[in-house]
Amino acid sequence: MKLKNSVTIKQTITPATIQLLEMVQLNTVELGRYLTEQAMENPAIDIDELAAASKGGELASRVEWLGSFNPQRTESSNADDDDAPDSPIVSRAEQTDVRSYLLSMLPSSDVDNDTRKIYRYLVGCVDSRGFLSEDWDKVAQKLGVERKAVDDCVAVMRSLPPTGICAEDVRGCLAAQLSADDSIARSIVERYLEELSHGHYMQISKSLGVPVSAVRSAEKRIKGLYPYPSSALEGSRDDDSMYIYPDLSVEQTTDGLSISLCRPYSPHLKISSFCKELKESTDDESVKNYIDERMAAAGRLYQNVCRCEKTVLSCFEILAKKQSDYLCGKSDTLKPMTLADIADSTGLSVSTVSRTVRGKYIQCKRGVIPAKLFFTAKLESKSGTRSADEAKKLLREVIDGEDKSSPLSDAQLCDILSKNGFLISRRTVAKYRNELGIPGTYVRKK
């Protein structure tokens, strides 16, 4: 008989840690609901004190009205008034047709009156799903501008995040999200969506000359895409909610950029005075033990709320610092930034950062913007790293200025971008061109 010594390491996650991980991924309204539920289950938490956390008498414990209230709007920001202050609450009715979002994202500086007029008109043409499909010649004629000016504005709108916004239809939205070299999935989206919806894999397989397994694999990739641009903006928010409350506010002050929670809860979580008095007045040990347990749970909840708010602020402080020029309206281009960048700066794991920023919104000079849109891909360049947005902007400028009788090929465009410091492949150029809604060489030739 042999005896062996072994060392086993087990990682255990405490209930308090699990609670914290659940809380950091909640937005402002969801966190209010969660804390209200905890207060209703635990008599040691004073729900009246918790309700006072909301400004202006709005009770966090009564956010349920958001799902059923159908207000007649008495106040709204005028989309045509550039000086109108941004409202910290965005109507879900406005958000669902994407128009307020587009107005907040489109270039507002260094554009002439004609361009501004075209943007305003086109934004009004975008439907509730985020699609834009018009007769561009008629638009140009109606506005009294050149057709090229309209095309340029459409290209800018289609270059905005999320990918596929302002596409003509579902096919265009799906195609924009697919890789340029994913020929099978792109062919299915362009020609066989109806057959795919009915499960006619064999028919698609024969038509494309590929195995059925390749069709099924492409189907999985297509199902992972969003069919409507508006659905990408809504994120994990409750579709029944009538309003979007920003989670954080960013302001430019004399001392620099200031970021704060729009509705902090930690200052308003209190231990119930009734429980304290009951414990002091009773001789029943079982009652005392129960009160001790409930008060301990309330204490853990308070600590987690403080940790949650600290985690959220630390992540968004890095985000705001990185994207300060964009948030303050000094630049229309986002800087390259990934979840890993924030994780490295805060010491948190990438998964924790992902939970923290998911589903949250930032109130800034440009309006209320989903946090996930601030994360852009990094590109290697001769001068370091630059964002994909910068490469797309240059690509659009190069194509706009090309000789239409002899348009540039993707390989030539790749060379031009390389000379300007962007180290990307021809396939990446084709991908960005498709995302911008710009057709290939032969279609552009006039």
Question: Is the pLDDT assigned to residue 181 strictly greater than 60?
Answer: yes
Name residues whose C-beta falls within 8 Å of residue 185's C-beta, 6 or more positions apart in sequence. 178, 218, 221, 222
Give dist(CA 111, CA 376) in Å, integer. 24
Same domain, 383 and 419: yes
173 in any annotated domain: no
Question: Is the pLDDT assigned to residue 125 strictly greater than 50?
Answer: yes
Mean pLDDT, to the nearest integer, of 142-169? 88
Report which of residues 147 and 33 the model is more confident about. 147
Output the pLDDT for position 222: 87
391 in any annotated domain: yes
405 in any annotated domain: yes
Report which of residues 446 and 154 the model is more confident about. 154
The residues facing 274 across adjacent strands are none
CATH of the domain at 409: 1.10.10.60
Report which of residues 9 and 105 the model is more confident about. 105
Residues written for the chain: 446
Mean pLDDT, to the nearest integer, of 267-285? 81
Mean pLDDT, to the nearest integer, of 322-339? 83
Output the pLDDT for position 78: 34
Output the pLDDT for position 397: 87
Residue 413 identity (one-letter amino acid): L
Report which of residues 90 and 319 the model is more confident about. 319
Question: Is the pLDDT assigned to residue 71 strictly greater than 80?
Answer: no
18 in any annotated domain: no
Render pLDDT for 185-201 as a digit per residue (tens, 0 to 9): 999 998 888 788 777 88
Question: Is the pLDDT assigned to residue 439 strictly greater than 50?
Answer: yes
Q: How confident is the model at residue 317 (pLDDT cuts 50, 70, 90)?
A: very high
349 in any annotated domain: no
Same domain, 185 and 150: no
Q: What is the mean pLDDT of the chain?
A: 77
Least confident of 215-229, 342-356, 375-389, 420-434: 375-389
Mean pLDDT, to the nearest integer, of 325-349? 86
Render pLDDT for 34-54 as a digit per residue (tens, 0 to 9): 887 888 788 888 754 444 444
Give dist(CA 90, CA 148) in Å, integer. 33
Question: Is the pLDDT assigned to residue 267 strictly greater than 70?
Answer: yes
Mean pLDDT, to the nearest integer, of 155-178? 87
Mean pLDDT, to the nearest integer, of 82-101? 47
Q: Which residue shows structure tokens 């005896």? A: 3
Same domain, 109 and 138: yes
Mean pLDDT, to the nearest integer, of 342-365? 89
Q: How confident is the model at residue 347 (pLDDT cuts 50, 70, 90)?
A: very high
Least confident of 90-94, 105-109, 212-216: 90-94
DSSP type of residue 211: -
369 in any annotated domain: no
Q: What are phi and psi of 368, to 5 degrees?
A: -100, 120
Mean pLDDT, to the nearest integer, of 229-248? 61
How many folded domains does the chain comprise? Answer: 3
Same domain, 194 and 145: no
Question: Is the pLDDT assigned to residue 133 strictly greater than 60?
Answer: yes
141 in any annotated domain: yes
Q: How confident is the model at residue 316 (pLDDT cuts 50, 70, 90)?
A: very high
Any long-range contacts for 170-178 (C-beta under 8 Å, 24+ apart)?
Answer: 170/227, 170/228, 172/131, 172/437, 173/130, 173/131, 173/225, 173/226, 173/227, 173/228, 173/229, 174/222, 174/225, 174/227, 175/434, 176/434, 176/435, 176/437, 177/225, 177/226, 178/221, 178/222, 178/225
Question: Is the pLDDT assigned to residue 390 strictly greater than 70?
Answer: yes
Same domain, 213 and 154: no
Same domain, 153 and 184: no
Of 125, 158, 191, the position where a domain reaches its end is 158
Output the pLDDT for position 446: 75
Give dist(CA 220, CA 426) in Å, integer. 26
Q: How confident is the model at residue 77 (pLDDT cuts 50, 70, 90)?
A: very low
Of the candidates 393, 408, 407, the residue with the CA atom closest to the CA atom of residue 156: 393
219 in any annotated domain: yes
Domain that holds residue 196: 179-224
**pTM (2 decimals)?**
0.51
Mean pLDDT, to the nearest integer, of 198-207? 83
